[in-house]
A and B are shown apart, each in its own frame.
Chain A
Amino acid sequence: MAQAGTVTRSPAGPVGAGWHNRRVNGWRAKLYRDDAVVLRGQKLGESDRIITLFTRRHGRIRAVAKGVRRTTSKFGARLEPFGHVDVQVAEGRSLHSVSQVEAIDLYGKRFIDDYPRYTTASAIAETAERLTPIEEEPALRLFLLTLGALRVLAEGLHTSSLVLDSYLLRAMALAGWAPALEECAVCGTEGQHRAFSVPAGGCVCQDCRPPGAAHPSPATLQLMAALATGDWPVADSSEAGPRREAAGLVAAHLQWHLERGLRSLPLVDRSSPKTSPTRGADENQRSTDGDLA
């Protein structure tokens, strides 16, 4: 079991504080604690998994969780995708290993009985993974955004497809790929422009409009701007047509920049109304750490 060996917790208390050493297989392994979002798990050997974690202080890491596929595993359930966990990681020569896990909030269990939310959470997790191409490179703002998106999705505050598009727009902004929505992407002329060109980088004016540019409705561009800034009253009151059109433009913009399509995005179920807003739009306005609102 992965808990083998004596592990000393940080006397300082807070998550992520301090480094410790532990002797593993005859050499000294560095141990650290951090809080993380579980992005995915891949089967390894008989009963292990490689867990991809998006940590607050250490960026994206991959760590082996031993024996977690056994029904007797102590912490396998806590390492299921989309959970927010407090994790202790032992650095290895090639792969790290997970030595302890405590649950902070396991969002995954709230997605499994709602297929649209499950597919949306998968697309969020894959985007976070793709936007952190270098392992162990801290990306605090993206971490907070990802955590906030999963939290909002779990709470069912907004329609899952809106949460996804808002997350994608803001994640792209953090990556430096925010689509121009309030000015021309080519010449910078301010104002609402009607044409949208993915290769040009967003809205374009009549003079700069390249051949093949899309002409989304003003409501679509208004929705995209609301999603990018977190104006949820506007986003929640949008119609189905602009939502569909905005989702297409956001996906096209993201995949243009990623150069390789997201595997989960075509599988996102945007059809079910099961995750429609359950509370009034005004009380949804939250400004907590990392929240999408």
Chain B
Amino acid sequence: MYEGAIQDLIDELGRLPGVGPKSAQRIAFHILSADPTDVKRLAVALQRVKEQVRFCTTCFNVAEAEQCRICRDPRRHDDVLCVVEEPKDVVAVERTGEFRGRYHVLGGAINPLEGIGPDHLKIRELMARLADGSVKELILATDPNTEGEATATYLALLVKPMGLAVTRLASGLPVGGDLEYADEITLGRAFEGRRAI
């Protein structure tokens, strides 16, 4: 146990996800020996993130204004909406450079084991966005795991009566991998989703 400020810093860092007591101690001593301007910059960044960052009122992505950068962008297509679980999924899709539509962040996936049902997600808000009829295609880009797939199934059933095209991201083989190393489920999905060339 250390005294005073250093122990407080170790305790606070130790509360962060994925940071154990040893890592917390290492980071604390790194901060102690770091340049004061670097530390100040970190402190300001921490403060700013809590004070300025909020959720976009339209898509629930992280934003520094009432609407996020993507919702404000007039060049984005209004007729295609991509549904993702978390704001970090928006970043992952944006990195592809393939999608020019808009997003809707659910804030998670339906997971009864964790007590997360449809009412805990931004599904009601999604339905409200779809109600005006401007969206022609809904892309369900939830995670390719049991919870994500079940959430996509739930949403597909919910929006089916609205008559818009509902698509799901393809599952299959990672680029650069060898076929022999693919597990049977991924390979099976790749076969199901094969396309003519």
In the complex the two chains form, is A264's CB within 8 Å of B185's CB? no
Given known pairs A80-B145, A82-B146, A111-B146, the reply for A40 and B186 (CB within 8 Å) is no
Min CB–CB distance B173 → chain A (angstroms): 10
In the complex, chain B residues whose CB is within 8 Å of the CB of A118: 112, 146, 150, 153
Stretch at the interface among A53-61, A119-127, A188-196, A249-257: A119-127
A72, A75, A267: the one contacting B115 at CB < 8 Å is A267
Please report the C-alpha to C-alpha distance between residue A126 and residue B146 in the assembled complex, in whole angstroms.
15
Size class of A's contact patch? 20 to 34
In the complex the two chains form, is B157's CB within 8 Å of A71's CB? no
Min CB–CB distance B166 → chain A (angstroms): 13
Stretch at the interface among B4-12, B51-59, B62-70, B176-184: B176-184
Per-residue contact bits, chain B 104-121, to A (CB 8 Å; 1 contact, 0 not):
000000111111010000
A103 interface hit (Cβ, 8 Å):
yes
In the complex the two chains form, is B183's CB within 8 Å of A74's CB? yes
B111, B177, B181, B183: the one contacting A77 at CB < 8 Å is B183
A78 interface hit (Cβ, 8 Å):
yes
In the complex the two chains form, is A46's CB within 8 Å of B18's CB? yes
**A115 to chain B: closest residue by CB:** B154
In the complex, chain B residues whose CB is within 8 Å of the CB of A185: none
B112, B114, B146: the one contacting A108 at CB < 8 Å is B146
In the complex, chain B residues whose CB is within 8 Å of the CB of A40: 113
B125 interface hit (Cβ, 8 Å):
no
In the complex the two chains form, is B112's CB within 8 Å of A106's CB? no
**A80 to chain B: closest residue by CB:** B146
In the complex, chain B residues whose CB is within 8 Å of the CB of A125: 113
In the complex the two chains form, is B181's CB within 8 Å of A122's CB? no
Min CB–CB distance A142 → chain B (angstroms): 17
In the complex, chain A residues whose CB is within 8 Å of the CB of B111: 122
In the complex, chain B residues whose CB is within 8 Å of the CB of A266: 117
In the complex the two chains form, is A72's CB within 8 Å of B145's CB? no
Please report the C-alpha to C-alpha distance between residue A19 and residue B21 in the assembled complex, in whole angstroms.
34
B174 interface hit (Cβ, 8 Å):
yes
Please report the C-alpha to C-alpha distance between residue A263 and residue B111 in the assembled complex, in whole angstroms.
10
In the complex the two chains form, is B112's CB within 8 Å of A268's CB? yes
In the complex the two chains form, is A113's CB within 8 Å of B174's CB? no
B113, B174, B184: the one contacting A126 at CB < 8 Å is B113
A45, A46, A78: the one contacting B185 at CB < 8 Å is A78
Please report the C-alpha to C-alpha distance between residue A78 and residue B145 in the assembled complex, in whole angstroms.
10
Given known pairs A46-B18, A103-B184, the reply for A264 and B146 (CB within 8 Å) is no
Please report the C-alpha to C-alpha distance between residue A115 and residue B115 in the assembled complex, in whole angstroms.
15
In the complex, chain A residues whose CB is within 8 Å of the CB of B146: 80-82, 108, 111-112, 118
In the complex the two chains form, is B185's CB within 8 Å of A109's CB? yes
**A117 to chain B: closest residue by CB:** B150
A78, A113, A122: the one contacting B149 at CB < 8 Å is A113
A136 interface hit (Cβ, 8 Å):
no
Per-residue contact bits, chain B 156-179, to A (CB 8 Å; 1 contact, 0 not):
010000000000000000100100
B113, B153, B183: the one contacting A263 at CB < 8 Å is B113
Given known pairs A45-B18, A78-B185, A263-B112, the reply for A71 and B149 (CB within 8 Å) is no
In the complex the two chains form, is A81's CB within 8 Å of B183's CB? no
Please report the C-alpha to C-alpha distance between residue A33 and residue B110 in the assembled complex, in whole angstroms.
32
In the complex the two chains form, is A72's CB within 8 Å of B174's CB? yes
Min CB–CB distance B94 → chain A (angstroms): 18
Per-residue contact bits, chain A 114-157, to B (CB 8 Å; 1 contact, 0 not):
11001100110110000000000000000000000000000000
Q: Which B residues fall within an 8 A CB radius of A?
A: 18, 110-115, 117, 145-146, 149-150, 153-154, 157, 174, 177, 181, 183-186
Q: Which 3 interchain pairs have the tightest Cβ spacing?
A: A263-B115, A264-B112, A122-B112
13 A-B contacts (beta carbon < 8 Å): A45-B18, A72-B174, A73-B183, A77-B184, A78-B185, A81-B146, A111-B150, A112-B149, A114-B153, A115-B153, A118-B146, A122-B111, A267-B110
